[in-house]
Structure 1
């Protein structure tokens, strides 16, 4: 009897897993990919799209093509609910998609630390697809980016190339607080050269038609406020009756399975893997192991544990003026670092062409 495997979401882990299934199909498995988007941007290249370095299509994976290569059916729909009692995914187009094994890689939503009134457009960076559409349609001149991590820094630098006056609210935690001191200095200097106004002595508390209000009442003018201050679980994960971590993300075991339902796997930002930060590099590297464990679940094999690396390379682009490279406590900068980043990004996308 055929076993039904449903991939919910076309995130980076699923892109890698489907690539494995295309090379090594499982006999008797019926695959389905469910995603509301046909073009799925690679998050590492999103700031490059914002900066005008890449066209959106250059930086995106075609979900339909990804599914076809793996012999999977592609369903363009948004999942509304997972019915575990009936082993089915309920979608906004009315379809119910049954599964024997379900893998979830739907990402997360941008965390919103602001009390919002009317007026200024608040643009969450996650999900990525509507964020890029909003940026492409915008003609604003005063932009505030909330969040001083690597993602917020890259977006602020990219937006400065669109002719906008950009303020970056890093908050009291400061720029890239987990980075070494040398890296923080490099990042601050490069933002200064771009004319980005960095706020590192107060957190943002609210946004309205006039802009953003900081602690103490100071105001920043803004026609658009971009949320890049971390992520939160989306409504589907919040509603799912499975164990979560303290932040509400779906708990998984080392084999990327729910501890309460071995038929459900999760990877990427929607999953809570102990000690793992929310970074795209981990989703990509979870992909091949996820594929192996999904194949094992379909065939009665034993799953293997995911063993993440202790640290990872971060390349923060300031194209066309180079990039800052950070790994562990080591930092360096230069045009070579940006060429390195571009090579990595283009090589990743080329896997799916």
Structure 2
């Protein structure tokens, strides 16, 4: 173990550990990398995974958890066992900053870590509307552990609730929570489920109507004034609880790291999944920007095998592979009653059969990463 003495910007002595590879974040792609290394010999060198907590939540099962169909333990991958199987160190601490030029990671516990190679799979956060006053409580769906703890507190005294976000997450959450609170209102900045087929959108609207969910499309929320949501200057909803499930927003620290990022702050990557500006740094999943790759767990999972092969090649000095985003992806949206909506190549359907299929795929993902 190489330990280097450094001084921080306040003149305090720090200790920096050196690694051959640091995996930053326990997202879907990194879980796939660790699973592959647990089953097949991992590449040489000192490798560690940095995670803010000891478990990785699987986002696809969150609606089922809130609907009472899954337990919290069903929806998590325990990282200590997976890392032991992959012969990878586990470092539990949030990341506070990154210097791309120095290949150095700053942790919130004060430690600094250096590595020859870095891989980012840290996801994204939820954007918050401007808020004035304290009349409305806000709860974002990410990070999942914070969200679930907040939801348990809310559930102890149910109140009417608004959900901000007309994508798959917002629709699934609205259907999961309908009937568990006195009233649910769902706000979408554009058309509901924009990007999916018209058929699945109509089916989703039908389910929401059956569950008495108030749906407001083409109604972007501009700000929050005390207990009121405003679209432009028009009040559109009053209440004390707002659930945030809107589009992904980049974390600030990758932008400040010196990495080349797009206009929204996501790391620009090449088809090899390497940063365009710093090729010794890989980035995948929601924190990365690559044409054709949507910010969806389905795409992150597909990046996993290519990332594993390329990290192995990088540590061994071999040629890298190219990742090609799939032109179409299967979408299965939970309807809260054990069923699901299906969208595939413009074909839509719904029912209990598709819910059982979704459960099979979700539980299979969890089981594949348990050791």
| Cα gap change, 1:3 to 1:240, in 2 (>3 Å) | closer
**For residue 174 of structure 2, what is the aligned residue in structure 1?**
156
Partner of 2:336: 319
User: Does residue 314 of structure 2 align to residue 306 of structure 1?
Assistant: no
Structure 2 vs 1, CA of residues 87 and 204 (structure 1 numbering), >3 Å: closer, same or farther?
closer
Q: Tell me the equivalent position of 1:232.
A: 249
TM (norm. structure 1) is 0.95
Q: CA deviation at 1:131?
A: 1.5
Query: Is the 2:43–2:315 Cα contact (8 Å) retained in structure 1?
Result: no
Tell me, in whole angstroms, the C-alpha distance in 2 between the residues paired with 1:27 and 1:245. Answer: 31
The CA distance in 2 between the partners of 1:314 and 1:304, in whole Å, is 27
Runs of 4+ residues deviating >3 angstroms: 113-117
Residue equivalent to 1:97: 113
> Could you list the per-position Cα deviations for residues 226-246 of structure 1 after superposition, in whole angstroms to 9, with x for gaps in the alignment?
121201101222212011112
For residues 280-314 of structure 1, the C-alpha deviation after alignment (integer angstroms, 9 at most, x for no partner) is: 00111111110110011101011100012111011
| SS of aligned partner of 2:69 | coil
Alpha-carbon distance in structure 2 between the residues aligned to 1:227 and 1:319: 18
2:284 alignment partner in structure 1: 267
Give the SS at the match of 1:99: strand
Alignment of 1:55-134 (within 5 A): 55-134=71-150
Would the aligned equivalents of 2:332 and 2:358 in 1 still touch at CA under 8 Å? Answer: yes
Q: Aligned equivalents of 2:32 and 2:354: distance in 1?
A: 25
Kindly state the Cα deviation for residue 123 of structure 1 after the two structures are TM-superposed.
1.4
Deviation, structure 1 residue 161: 3.9
| Residue number among 331, 339, 357 corresponding to 1:340 in the alignment | 357
CA shift for structure 1 position 43:
0.7
Q: How many angstroms does 1:69 deviate by?
A: 1.3
Whole-angstrom distance in 1 between the partners of 2:45 and 2:71: 36
* Pick aligned residue for 2:163 from 125, 134, 145: 145
Q: Is 1:166 paired with 2:176?
A: no
Give the distance between the partners of 2:315 and 2:272, measured in 1 at CA.
14
SS of the residue aligned with 1:218? Answer: strand
Offset from partner CA, 1:287-342 (integer Å, 9 cap, x none):
11101100111010111000121110111111325211001311111111111100
In structure 1, stretches of 5+ residues that fail to align are none
Maintained 8 Å contact 2:22/2:47: yes
2:10 maps to what in 1?
none
The CA deviation string for residues 47-100 of structure 1, in whole angstroms up to 9 with x for no partner, is 111211111111011122221111111111011111234322110111112211
Unmatched tracts of structure 2, length 5 or more? 2-17
TM-score normalised to structure 2 length: 0.90
> Structure 1, residues 6-42: CA drift from partner, whole Å, max 9, x if none?
1100111000011111122345321101111112210
Counterpart position of 2:65: 49
Question: Take 2:222 and 2:44, find their aligned partners in 1: how far apart are those partners?
Answer: 54
- RMSD of aligned Cα (Å): 1.8
1:229-275 CA deviation, whole Å, 9 max, x = no partner?
20110122221201111211000100100112121001100001112
Counterpart position of 2:265 = 248
**1:217 maps to which residue?**
234
Instruction: Tell which deviates more after alignment, 315-324 or 262-271.
Output: 315-324
CA distance in 2, matches of 1:266, 1:185: 36
The answer on whether the counterparts of 1:319 and 1:338 sit within 8 Å (CA) in structure 2 is no
User: Would you say how many aligned residue pairs link Structure 1 and Structure 2?
Assistant: 352
1:40–1:129 contact (8 Å) kept in structure 2: no
